[in-house]
Amino acid sequence: MRLAILVITLMTALLLPTAAHAADPAGIFTAPTPGHTTPTGTPITVAATADDVCSATIALHTPTGGKTVLATTPANPTCTGETRLSGSFTPNTPGDYRLTLTGSGLHLAETTLTAATTPAPAAAATVTHTTTAAPTATPTVTATATTTATPKPRPTATRTVTATPKPRPTATITKTATRTIHAPAPVAAPAPAPVYLPTTPAQPEPVTLPEAAPAATTTVTAQPDLATLITLANAAKGTPTGSGGGGSITSAIIQTINTLIGLCALGGVLFIGNRVLRKRGERH
């Protein structure tokens, strides 16, 4: 009886997987998200779900071409229901990593992630404050002893000699300049020389010519008198009219000579005038 039950169970198990395959299994990755980027050296958790599979496997394909199985499920005799599986890995090499999910020999799902080189951390600036304590100056005490010798005062004898000058007689000299001017004796003016006037000859009667001749113009020059000539001569030499001359005998002599020169000049003028008048009379 027991043997019959075992045989029936085995036969059922062999027939059920065929029916499960006919149910179209499916699967999906729940972690990481597609296109995820992570720094190298960071652990990554992988999780997936498979439906209606007899078994499921998660495989990791590295940038260098390697393949690693991250997780797998035990065999499911009924090949129905939901199967969950998970795993983890640490990408140490930068590049693209590909994850695949297979179940019952079928490719169910695929996802990728990128591992980037971790940038070197920026050097932290360290500010160091150095405080240097200046040494405390030690006051220097210098004792200086100064001894000043003060001389003893000595008596001082002061002798004052005052000289009083004797008064001297003062002589006062007063000079008075007196100049006496003697007026020269008046010199009598010389008597004027007699003036001889020439006698004009009788004019001949005019002769009547055939043609009338132009009338001749007769110019008679006025003869100045002796007093006027003497006055003009004295005025030209700077001697005032009627003056007796200088204040000495020399001045009187000079005045007399000037008077004689004036008389000679007057006589010459009269002589020349007389000759001119005569010539004009003869022409007429």
Q: What is the pLDDT of residues 44-93, one digit of tens each?
A: 999 999 999 999 999 999 999 999 999 999 999 999 999 999 999 999 99
pLDDT of residue 62: 95
How far apart CA 267 and CA 195 sit, in angstroms, is 9
Report the half-sphere exposure of 114 (CA within 13 A, side-chain side): 6
pLDDT of 252 reads 83
Q: Is the pLDDT of residue 18 over 70?
A: no
Check residues 41 and 249 and name the one with the higher pLDDT.
41
pLDDT tens for 117-147 read 876 555 454 545 555 555 555 545 444 545 4
Least confident of 20-29, 59-68, 100-109: 20-29
CATH architecture of 2-116: Sandwich (2.60)
CA distance 212 to 30: 175
Q: What is the mean pLDDT of residues 252-280?
A: 89
Predicted local distance difference test score (pLDDT) of residue 164: 63
**Rounded Cα distance, 26 and 239, in Å:** 172
The pLDDT score that the predictor gives to residue 21 is 45
Q: Are 85 and 48 in contact (CB under 8 A)?
A: yes
Statement: residue 246 has pLDDT above 50: no
Rounded Cα gap, residues 71 and 58, in angstroms: 5
Q: Does pLDDT of 234 surpass 80?
A: no
Tens digits of per-residue pLDDT, 164-221? Answer: 656 665 555 555 555 555 555 555 555 555 554 545 544 545 544 445 444 444 444 5
Instruction: Average the pLDDT over 37-41 and give the result.
Output: 94
pLDDT tops 70 at residue 107: yes
Burial class (CB in 10 A: 0-12, 13-18, 19+), 73: middle
Please give the C-alpha separations between residue 248 and each of 13, 15, 49, 141, 233, in angstroms, as whole numbers.
198, 199, 175, 114, 21
> Is pLDDT larger for residue 148 or for residue 72?
72
CB 244 within 8 A of CB 234: no
Identify residue 230 by its one-letter amino acid code.
I
Residues of the chain with CATH 2.60.40.10: 2-116
Worst-scoring range by mean pLDDT, 4-18, 32-46, 65-79? Answer: 4-18
Q: Which of 23-27, 109-113, 116-120 has the lowest mean pLDDT?
A: 116-120
CA distance 158 to 81: 148
